[in-house]
Amino acid sequence: GQQVMQIPQYQHVQEGEDFTTYCNSSTTLSNIQWYKQRPGGHPVFLIQLVKSGEVKKQKRLTFQFGEAKKNSSLHITATQTTDVGTYFCAGNPGYSTLTFGKGTMLLVSP
Amino acid sequence: DAGVIQSPRHEVTEMGQEVTLRCKPISGHDYLFWYRQTMMRGLELLIYFNNNVPIDDSGMPEDRFSAKMPNASFSTLKIQPSEPRDSAVYFCATSGTGNQPQHFGDGTRLSIL
């Protein structure tokens, strides 16, 4: 079955540093979605990427979808303590439902 | 708009007891998903429904787990008998179509003693 791998599992940064999490799928995806889960909360949808090579920005967050539509990344510029949480990618192969990666837990120290 | 509503928010019970988790989806959403989240295994899809019909239950760990969706407004996930290894956060999520973003409920934090 489809697998979605995320790295790193965990990252601890100082406030102001950048952060990147990477997502790789074993199969070509129809689209990829990113979610954020705050500690003690539930996953919340951030964005969906559909096109090969697509880049989308949300303030300090930049999302990319690879040319082969099998990988994606989320980059946060100048992290803030409010960025703390676990970031999940979720791949959609188009013939089934989403497969979530295991997530990258981000800790930001002030 | 009301989001996905799950109940109870917390449940603590002794092993061997029956546990029933409930979910009210967002009105008009045709897909409903049940997930289990643990530190070790991450977010696991247990089962999902489309228009109240179970589509894929391959993630249901064993026969002790069952899920139903008797109508478009309500779904249950039942564990009978419960075991300590079932302790986890259980999320219900819904979406309009299979490709659209999923909206998660607040989850049920289940502890089996």
With an 8 Å Cβ cutoff, is A51 touching chain B?
no
pLDDT, average across residues B92-101: 91
User: A57-68 pLDDT, tens per residue?
Assistant: 999 999 999 999
Strand partners, A88: A35
Residue B10 has pLDDT above 70, yes or no: yes
CB distance B99–A44 less than 8 Å? Answer: no
Identify which of A41, A43, A92 has the shortest CB distance to residue B99: A92
Rounded to a whole number of angstroms, the distance from the CA of A23 to the nearest CA of chain B is 15
Q: Which residues contact B70 (CB under 8 A, 6 or more apart)?
A: B52
Rounded to a whole number of angstroms, the distance from the CA of B42 to the nearest CA of chain A is 5
Selected residue of B45, B46, B92, B99 to mutate for chain A interface (largest A Cβ count, 10 A): B99
Cβ neighbourhood burial of A34 (10 Å; 0-12, 13-18, 19+)? buried
Identify which of A45, A99, A102 has the shortest CB distance to residue B101: A45
With an 8 Å Cβ cutoff, is B30 touching chain A?
no
Closest to B55 (Cα-Cα) out of A87, A31, A94, A97: A97
CB distance B98–A103 less than 8 Å? Answer: no
Q: Kindly tell me the sign of the dihedral angle through the C-alpha atoms of A21, B40, A100, A26.
A: positive
A-chain CB neighbours of B93 within 8 Å are 43
The pLDDT assigned to B1 comes to 63
pLDDT, average across residues B32-41: 94
Closest to B102 (Cα-Cα) out of B23, B39, B38: B23
User: B53-91 pLDDT, tens per residue?
Assistant: 999 999 998 899 999 999 999 999 999 999 999 999 999
The pLDDT assigned to A3 comes to 87
The pLDDT assigned to A97 comes to 83
